[in-house]
Structure 1
Amino acid sequence: MAALELRHRQRARAEDRIRAARATGLRTLPLQEAMPNQIWLEIIQIAFDLLAWMPLFPLTGQARFWEPRRLRLRLFSTVAQLIATGRRRYLRLAQALAVDRGNHEALDRLHALPNPG
C-alpha cells in the first residue's frame, strides 16, 4: 500500500510540473520552424529543472511550496546590479529586498555551495 501511495504522489508531482510548464511557456510554440522550437523547448526544460530544484535546497518554509509564477514574481524578478571589482564579482540587491529575509537566506545557502570553477 505504501508503494502505491508513493507512486501516486510522484505522479501528482509530475502532473503539477507539466501544468505549470503549460501555463508559462509551453502553451504554444513561438517560432515557425522545428529547430528553433526544439531549442525553445530545451530552454524551457532547463528553466523547469531549475524550478524543480529550488525548493529542495535554497528555499525554506512556505516558499518551498510556491508555484512557478509566484517564484518568478518574488525571486527571479528581483532588482539587482552585478558589480565587478578587481577579480571578484558582487551582486548588489535592491534595498526593497532587504525586508524579505527568505530571499537573503536562500542566496546565502546558494553562496555556501562549493564553487565548480
Structure 2
Amino acid sequence: MLLVALATDLTARMGLLAHPHQKALRWEPKRLRLGLFSIPAAIARTARRTILHLSHRAAWAATALTAISRLRAHA
C-alpha cells in the first residue's frame, strides 16, 4: 500500500513540475495512463547517451515532449 501511495504522490508532483500552465496539471491518474503513459515509444542507446523516440502519430506526443523538457530543466 505504501508503494501505491508513493507512486500516486510522484505522479502528482510530476504534474506540478511538468505541466504548470496546462490542463494536464489537473488530470487524474487514469487519464494520465490513457493519454501520456500509453504513447508508443522506443529507447535507443548510442554514444553513451540514452534517447527516447516518441511516436509522432500519438495525439499527446507534444504534451509529453513539453513535460520532458520542463523536467530536464528542473534537474
Q: Which has the higher strand share?
A: 2
Name 2:16's counterpart in structure 1.
56
Residue 100 of structure 1: how far off its partner (Å) = 4.3
Residue 73 of structure 1: how far off its partner (Å) = 0.8
State percent identity of aligned pairs: 38
Q: Which runs of 5 or more residues in structure 1 are unaligned?
A: 1-40
State TM-score, norm by structure 2. Answer: 0.80
Name 1:79's counterpart in structure 2.
40
The Cα offsets for residues 47-83 of structure 1, whole Å up to 9 and x where unpaired, read as 1011221221101311111111001111112211110
Does 2:10 correspond to 1:47? no
Name 2:51's counterpart in structure 1.
90
State TM-score, norm by structure 1. Answer: 0.55
For 1:94 and 1:100, the matched residues in 2 are separated by 7
Does 2:44 correspond to 1:112? no
Q: Which runs of 5 or more residues in structure 2 are unaligned?
A: none
Count, aligned residues: 74
8 A contact 2:18–2:70 mirrored in 1:
yes
